[in-house]
Amino acid sequence: MITGTSRGPAEQEPERRGRRPRFGQYALELFMIAVAVVFLFPVYALITLAMKDPQQISDSPLSLPSPPTFANFGNAWSSASLGPALLNSTVITAVSLLILVVLGSTGAYYLARRARGLGYGLYILFLLGIVLPFQLGMIPLYKLVDDLGWLGTYQGMVLFYTGIQLPFTVFLYTGFIRALPQDYAQAALIDGCTHRQAFTRIVFPLLRPITGTVIILNAVFIWNDFFTPLLYLGGSDKETVPVGVFAFVGQYVSDYGLVFAGLVLAALPILVVFVLLQRYVIKGFAGGLKG
C-alpha cells in the first residue's frame, strides 16, 4: 500500500535553491552596513572626543577613551552658558511649533475641502512660498522686525519662523487631509456640529501621524538654524543654542574635548525629540503621498 508520493530530483531542486543564500543579498547587506558605518562614524568621533582629556586627544584622537572623563560636559555647560541658550531655543521652538500646528492644520483643512476657486488659488500661493528662497526677503523682514521693536526678542523669532515654515506645514497637512475619508466629518456636520467642532473633535485627532511629522521637521529646522538667530538675536540675552555654541567654539577652539562636549549637549535635546517622534515621519509622508 502506497501511503505517499516521493518527490523527484527535479522537484526538490527549486526548494534547495530557494534555501541557498543569494550572493546579491549578502552584497546588499554589506553595502548597507558600510553606509551605516559612514553615517555613524561622525557620531562616534563626536562622543569619543567629548569624553577625552587633551592628552588623550593628542595621543590617539579616534580610539576609545581610556579612561573616559565626563568633566568636559560640566565645564562646557558652565563656560558656554548653555542653560540660558537651551531655554531660549526651547521657548522659540515650542511656541513656533504650536502656532504652526494650529494655523497649518486649520488652513489645510479648508484648502483640502475647497479644492477649487479660492481654495486652489491659496494652495498654489502656499506652494510658491515653498519654492521661493526665504533669503530673498531677509532685508525687508529684518526692517519689519526692527520697526516693530522686536529685535532681540522671542516675538521676532516666532514671527519669522511661523511665516517661513507655514507654507511647508500647510503643504504636508493638505496632502494628508485629502487622503482621509470625508464621511466622519460629514456625519458630525449632519449631527449638528459646526465646522470648527467637526475639525477639532473628529478630523484633528486623525492627523496624529502628520502632526508628528510637522513637529519633528520644523523642530529640527528651527532648533538648528544659525543665521537667523545670529542676525536677529546677536548680542542680546535671547541667543539660541547654535549662536551660543558658535561663540563658545571660537573661544575654546584649542580645547577640542570641551568643544565637542558642548556640541553633544547642544544636539542632545533635538535628538531625543527625533527619536521619540521619528516613527511618525514615515507615516505622515506615506499618508500625504496617498492623497
Burial of residue 144 (CB within 10 Å: 0-12, 13-18, 19+) is: middle
Q: What is the 3-state secondary structure (H, E, C) of 230-265?
A: HHHHCCCCCCCHHHHHHHHHHHCCCCHHHHHHHHHH
Quick check: 109 pLDDT over 80? yes
Q: What is the pTM of this model?
A: 0.79
Between CA 53 and CA 65 the distance in angstroms is: 9
Map residue 165 onto helix, strand or coil: helix
- 142-171, pLDDT tens digit by residue? 888 888 888 889 999 999 999 899 999 999
pLDDT at 59 > cutoff 80: no
Residue 291's pLDDT is 45
* Orientation of helix 118-131 relative to helix 154-179, angle to 10°: 120
Question: According to the model, what pLDDT value does residue 8 have?
Answer: 55
Q: Provide the mean pLDDT of the chain.
A: 81
For residues 273 and 237, give the distance between their C-alpha atoms in angstroms, rounded to a whole number: 25
CB atoms within 10 A of CB 208: 12
